[in-house]
Amino acid sequence: MKRREFIKIASIGTGGMAAMGVLGSTFVQKVVNPRIGEKLGEEFANKRIPTYCEICFWRCAGWAYTNEKGEIWKVIGNEIDPICNGRLCPRGTGGLGAYTDDNRLRTPLIRVEEDGVQKFKEASWDEALDYIADKLRTIAYIHGPETVALFNHGSSGRYMTEFLQAYGSDSSTAPSYAQCRGPREVAFFHTFGDFVNSPEPTDLKNCKCLVLIGYHLGENMHNTQVQEMSMALDNGMKIVTVDPRFSTVAAKSKHWLPIKPATDNALMLAWIHVMIKNGWYDKQYVERYCNGFEQLAKHVEPFTPEWAAEICQLDAQAIIDTAWEMYHASPATIIHPGRHNTWYGDDTQRLRLVAILNALMGSWGRKGGFYFPARATLSRFPRPAFPIPKTTWREALEGDYPLAGMSVSNAIIDRSIPKEGREFTYKAWLVTGCNLPMTIPNTPHTLEAVQHLELLVAIDTMPMDITGWADVVLPECSFLERNDNIRTDQGRVATIALRAPLYPPKYDSKPAYWITRELAHKIGLGRFFPFEDQQSELDWELQQMGSSYAEMMEVGVKVFPRDESELFLKEGIDHRFNTPSGKIELYATGFIPYGFDPLPSYVKHEEPAEGYYRLNYGRAPMHTFGRTANNPYLFDLMEENTLWVNPTIAAKSNIHAGQSVWLENQDGIVSSFPITVRITERIGNDSVYMVHGFGHADKRLKRAFGRGISDTELITRVHVDPLMGGTGMRGNFVKFILSDPKKVEV
């Protein structure tokens, strides 16, 4: 096959507007597809429907409203939802933009070649799904269905995952694991026998000492965590922030430790040293519940605060003071596991230190620490058993990353490039709700893999970067135009939440459920989708939980109360943890069979060369990754990212505030676009900082195109965690380029 070229809208074929798919769901058939500016009429006036937000994955439940003209009006939080307490964050409120964005994908697109030029042809759903079904049939026949992988994030992933399993593959993966929270899940599982999961079961509202290590809560806007943090602050909670950058929450902290990047393990080892040496840990808890204390105590003997102070460029006394602060508040102390954990490649071991600290403070299963979450069980209508894949995702890894709990996105990408000596190669990707060129580090490697694929399908709402590389693009409607699976996320109490459509899908877009079901039917897998339509299926599922679709339309959220005593360990009573020893494992015996160190150490990481600065990145409260960059309302709040530069570096490099600079990384990669310099003392003199999710390269994103720099573009050096495959991304270094390298074709 000819190399796949990146296609922008400018080269759309002349195929003409596709007709409404003949397969239209019952709901869609009832109404004409509304276009921007069209009045939807009385049917939609003063309507209120229950939904849960899809702008990030906290998934707050809310109500979406239309006004008296039937126009979209507002979305607000659902008062009875404990995951939002009736309040949405700024992104959730601006979530309406997911519906109104006029750059949305409108019709299915198929890559064609005309006169040697690749372009997209607009297609009907029938055509597009036939094309995919044909390819999938051929791939199953020639290579086996297990060579097809799914990348997913968000609600649409659930149905696509089931489709993939029915087809014969279990390689369903997500950047939100190996580029995000995978390390903490593995570390906590091997310490406490439980995953952290989302939302994190932190009893923040009762917490007295919160330790945030590279976790910038407040800029990272996970709703109820931020609410509970404010509540606890009002009640006198002390915060210890460990961050090389003076983050928003650092300003609210009793202690800010401006740590030298990449040295956190040294700090934590010293904290443990100080705690054990001074007896500043919960002895009863450790004695009753923990295993491996002696090994740990011996292991940390050399790691004095003075030793760490030098490595971390901190004050030794500050290390001792903060250790005391944690002990003083224990067990109402949370050393937060963070969320975006993939930093330097030794991340699972770093998160093991976090887990050990929590164990020493006795905070796992204790008030003000971590609670044991509850979750509603969703019954699924009986359907045939899924076929067993000939090669499972784990077998495809051929022994690599043995502690990974789910398939590893970057490993699938890697194993899509044929390599001598390797038996298994992936042949096709289905991608939904992921923008891989912007979320998987080392984009050139991802794009090389794309060239080897026999099929790349992108299901998205927006013409994001990934769609430009796809063979087929399928436009999903926004969350405000669809039902989705019942939300059963964990919390202090089990809850269920319904998402219903406010409007029918705009343009020729469709919900994931419909797309998957139609595709399943086309490929002869219809028996796995036993319901005619999604609402009947949801109703059946809700009935099993003692509710119904009709009831949920009225209430939106249902809470299943439980006794508060179930939240925490019962004082003085033994508890069996789900670990090999049945105890909290300070010494991780589960690591031993794989040759991984059961006790974490400090390993020195590479430092920037002269003239280069470490590339640091994070979140802004008004955007979610790159997915909201083009959202009209959120764009108004923040149009582009800026580059934080310390005044000393600025002076040395001859750059001033407001200047546009380009960046070049250690591998000679130059940013596609410039970024505006912001000079601030809030960042140290060895790094520069920017918010992730900007610098979009697809011109079809009229607002977001070319605004700021994409951090991902500059992250080409990846330090992979040998335990679970996470991609350490913070070992990249950049220098300033002061004049236009004329790299951008406009």
**Among 75, 59, 219, which residue's Cα sits nearest to residue 154?**
59
CA dist 190 and 177 (Å) reads: 17
Minimum distance of ligand SF4 from residue 511's CB (angstroms): 19
Minimum distance of ligand SF4 from residue 90's CB (angstroms): 7
Angle between helices 293-300 and 264-278 (to 10 degrees): 110
What's the CA angle centered on 122, arms 118 and 125, to 5 degrees? 125
Max alpha carbon distance in the chain (Å)? Answer: 77
Interaction of residue 154 with ligand MGD, rule CB under 6 A: yes
Residues 39-58 touching ligand SF4, rule: CB under 6 A, are 53, 55-56, 58
Considering the complex, state which of residue 13 and residue 626 has its C-beta at the smaller distance from ligand SF4.
626
Interacting partner of 590 out of ligand MGD, ligand SF4, Mo ion, none (Cβ under 5 to 8 A depending on kind)? none
Residues 61-120 touching ligand MGD, rule: CB under 6 A, are none
CA dist 92 and 637 (Å) reads: 13
Query: Long-range contacts: 28-37, Cβ < 8 Å, 24+?
Result: 28/504, 28/505, 28/510, 28/514, 30/504, 31/504, 33/504, 33/505, 33/506, 33/507, 33/508, 34/503, 34/504, 34/506, 35/506, 35/507, 36/100, 36/102, 36/506
Query: Could you tell me which residues are beta bridge partners of residue 660?
Result: 676
Interaction of residue 734 with Mo ion, rule CB under 5 A: no
Interaction of residue 357 with ligand MGD, rule CB under 6 A: no
CA dist 316 and 313 (Å) reads: 9
CA dist 694 and 672 (Å) reads: 11
Residue 410 in contact with residue 725, Cβ under 8 Å? Answer: yes
Minimum distance of ligand SF4 from residue 623's CB (angstroms): 10
Residue from the set 8, 91, 487, 719 that interacts with ligand SF4 by CB under 6 A: 91
Number of residues that bind ligand MGD (CB under 6 A): 59
Interaction of residue 180 with Mo ion, rule CB under 5 A: yes
Minimum distance of ligand SF4 from residue 82's CB (angstroms): 12
Distances (CA, A) of 59 to 154, 211, 448, 717: 9, 25, 34, 33
Residues 205-224 touching ligand SF4, rule: CB under 6 A, are 221-223
- 687-691 vs 148-152, strand pairing mode: unpaired
Q: How many residues does the chain have?
A: 746
Q: How far is CA 80 from the centre of its chain?
A: 26
> Which residue is closest to ligand SF4 by CB?
92
Interaction of residue 178 with Mo ion, rule CB under 5 A: no
How many C-beta atoms surround the C-beta of residue 617 within 10 A? 22
Considering the complex, state which of residue 468 and residue 491 has its C-beta at the smaller distance from ligand SF4.
491
- Dihedrals phi, psi of 566, to nearest 5 degrees: -75, -10
- What b/e readout covers 453-480, taking b as 16+ CB neighbours within 10 angstroms? bbbbbbbbbbbbbbbbbbbbbbbbbbbb
Considering the complex, state which of residue 51 and residue 624 has its C-beta at the smaller distance from Mo ion.
624
Interaction of residue 59 with ligand SF4, rule CB under 6 A: yes
Assigned token pair, 390:
């000939």
Interaction of residue 98 with ligand SF4, rule CB under 6 A: no
Tell me which DSSP letter residue 124 carries: -
Query: Per-residue x/- mask for ligand SF4, residues 123 to 162, rule CB under 6 A?
Result: ----------------------------------------
Interacting partner of 434 out of ligand MGD, Mo ion, ligand SF4, none (Cβ under 5 to 8 A depending on kind)? ligand MGD
CA dist 675 and 740 (Å) reads: 11
Query: Per-residue x/- mask for ligand MGD, residues 372 to 411, rule CB under 6 A?
Result: ----------------------------------------
Interaction of residue 60 with ligand SF4, rule CB under 6 A: yes
Interaction of residue 638 with ligand SF4, rule CB under 6 A: no
How many C-beta atoms surround the C-beta of residue 216 within 10 A? 21
> Which residue is closest to Mo ion by CB?
180
Query: Per-residue x/- mask for ligand MGD, residues 417 to 436, rule CB under 6 A?
Result: ---------------xxxx-
Considering the complex, state which of residue 110 and residue 545 has its C-beta at the smaller distance from ligand MGD.
110
Query: Per-residue x/- mask for ligand MGD, residues 160 to 199, rule CB under 6 A?
Result: ---------------xx--xx-------------------
Binding residues for ligand MGD, rule: CB under 6 A, are: 54, 56, 153-154, 156, 175-176, 179-180, 213-216, 220-222, 242-245, 247, 259, 261-262, 264, 338-340, 343, 432-435, 439, 459-462, 464, 466, 476, 478-479, 616-619, 621, 623-627, 692, 711-712, 715, 729-730
Which residues of this chain interact with ligand SF4, rule CB under 6 A?
53, 55-56, 58-60, 84, 88-89, 91-92, 221-223
